């Protein structure tokens, strides 16, 4: 088992199934261009390889600086293949990001998570990894 950063088109394709497990509307015909655009917008993807053709789990995150957070990391997506869930891979990716943040002198790591019964395990993981519930997130569609 290894954790690596997406660097090549082959890496992007290797992560497709894990990303689509979380983002099913990101169909095969949209996937590659959407990921390329995401990576061009100051984001990175880290993934776990476990000896199978597809990445077992992925995390998509951005880095930035703003007046409220200072130097921060925001995790957009954290997903494991359904067949790979319960193996601790999401926690390993969160630990990798925390180490990256510490080495890079980031102030904070942020993420948002939907609120519904299907998210209970994810919320338990975030709380166990010392994330705190600090706000409500509001959206206005235009």
Q: Where are the domains of the chain?
A: 2-128
Mean pLDDT confidence for 110-131: 93
Quick: pLDDT tens for 82-118. Answer: 999 999 999 999 999 999 999 999 999 999 998 989 8
* pTM (predicted TM-score): 0.94
Q: Is it the case that residue 34 has pLDDT exceeding 90?
A: yes
CB count, 10 Å around CB of 49?
A: 16
Tens digits of per-residue pLDDT, 47-92? 999 999 999 999 999 999 999 999 999 999 999 999 999 999 999 9
Q: What is the pLDDT of residue 118?
A: 86
Is there a contact between 50 and 84 (Cβ–Cβ < 8 Å)? yes
Which helix (H) or strand (E) segment holds residue 19: the answer is helix 16-22
Asked whether the beta carbons of 55 and 31 are under 8 A apart, the reply is: no
CA distance 19 to 98: 21
Q: What sign for the dihedral angle of Cα 115, 119, 123, 124?
A: positive
Buried b (16+ CB within 10 A) or exposed e, 117-141: eeeeeeeebbeeeebeeeeeeeeee
Query: Which of 22-26, 119-123, 136-140 ranks highest by mean pLDDT?
Result: 22-26
> Could you tell me what percentage of the chain is helix, strand and coil, using 3-state DSSP and rounding each to the nearest 5?
40, 25, 35
Q: Is 3.90.180.10 the CATH number for 2-128?
A: no
The pLDDT of residue 11 is 97
């Amino acid at each position: 088992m290894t954790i690596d950063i997406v660097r090549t088109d082959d890496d992007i394709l290797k992560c497709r199934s894990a990303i689509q497990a979380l983002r099913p509307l990101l169909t095969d015909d949209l996937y590659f261009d959407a990921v390329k655009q995401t990576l061009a917008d100051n984001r990175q993807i880290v993934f776990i390889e476990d000896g199978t053709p597809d990445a077992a789990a992925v995390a998509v995150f951005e880095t930035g600086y703003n007046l409220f957070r200072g130097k921060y990391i925001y995790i957009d997506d954290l997903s494991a293949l359904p067949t790979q869930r319960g193996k601790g891979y999401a926690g390993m990716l969160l630990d990798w990001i925390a180490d990256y943040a510490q080495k890079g002198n980031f102030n904070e790591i942020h993420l948002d998570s939907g609120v519904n019964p299907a998210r209970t395990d994810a919320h338990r993981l975030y709380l166990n990894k010392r994330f705190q519930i600090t706000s409500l997130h509001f959206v206005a569609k235009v």
